[in-house]
Amino acid sequence: MALLNGRTAVVTGGAQGIGFAIAERFVAEGARVVLGDLDLDATEAAVRRLGGTEVAAAVRCNVTDSSDVDALLARAVDGFGSLDVVVNNAGITRDATMRTMTEDQFDQVVNVHLKGSWNGTRKAAAIMREQRSGAIVNISSLSGKVGMVGQTNYSAAKAGIVGLTKAAAKEMAHHGVRVNAVQPGLIRSAMTEAMPEKAWEQKMNEIPMRRAGEVAEVANVVLFLASDLSSYMTGTVLEVTGGRFM
Q: Which residues are catalytic?
A: 154
- Mention every residue, 6+ apart, whose C-beta is less than 8 A from residue 196: none
51: left (phi over 0), alpha (psi -120 to 50) or beta: left
Coil/strand/helix, residue 41 = helix
**Dihedral pair phi/psi, residue 10, rounded to 5°:** -115, 135
Long-range contacts of 186-191 (CB under 8 A, 24+ apart): 186/142, 186/212, 186/213, 186/241, 186/242, 186/244, 187/18, 187/212, 187/213, 187/214, 187/215, 187/217, 187/218, 187/240, 188/212, 188/213, 188/214, 188/215, 189/17, 189/18, 189/215, 190/17, 191/17, 191/93
Q: Which residues, listed in sequence order, are joined to residue 134 by a DSSP beta bridge?
A: 177
Report the side by side order of strands in the sheet with 32-37. Answer: 56-60, 32-37, 8-12, 85-88, 134-139, 177-184, 237-240
